[in-house]
């Protein structure tokens, strides 16, 4: 039984499309997992800012928006939120 060239090419194209589809679905999932992880770390950082900020009367609300901002931006996100709260 001989395999025709068309069948081999069809399998090759199918495997390439399957790989591309898996990659397209996996990359956003990695970004979402990274965003969730950074948001959790941002919430922890906000907790410590509130804990240390009690001395000077500085506090930030820990909510999902602030946690995402701090999770994405890191320490500059904390400074941004403090500026937004106390300067503007």
For residue range 41-60, list pLDDT tens digits in order. Answer: 888 888 888 899 888 888 88
Query: What's the rounded Cα separation, in Å, for the pair 35 and 12?
Result: 35
For residue 32, being part of any structural domain is answered with yes
For residue range 8-50, list pLDDT tens digits in order. Answer: 888 889 899 998 888 888 878 788 888 888 888 888 888 888 8
The parent domain of residue 31 ranges over 27-86
Burial of residue 53, with CB atoms counted within 10 A of its CB: 0-12 exposed, 13-18 middle, 19 or more buried: middle
Question: What does pTM read for this prediction?
Answer: 0.65
| Residue 1: pLDDT over 60 | no
| Residue 62: pLDDT over 80 | yes
Number of domains in the chain: 1
Tokens 């956003």 identify what position?
28
pLDDT at site 65: 87
For residue 10, being part of any structural domain is answered with no
Inter-axis angle of helices 75-86 and 5-53, to 10 degrees? 50
């Amino acid at each position: 039984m001989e395999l025709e060239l068309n069948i081999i090419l069809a399998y090759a194209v199918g495997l390439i499309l399957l790989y591309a589809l898996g990659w397209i679905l996996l990359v956003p999932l990695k970004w979402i997992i990274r965003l969730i992880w950074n948001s959790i770390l941002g919430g922890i950082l906000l907790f410590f800012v509130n804990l240390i900020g009690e001395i000077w009367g500085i506090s930030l609300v820990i909510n999902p928006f602030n946690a995402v901002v701090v999770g994405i931006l890191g320490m500059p996100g904390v400074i941004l939120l403090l500026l937004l709260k106390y300067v503007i």
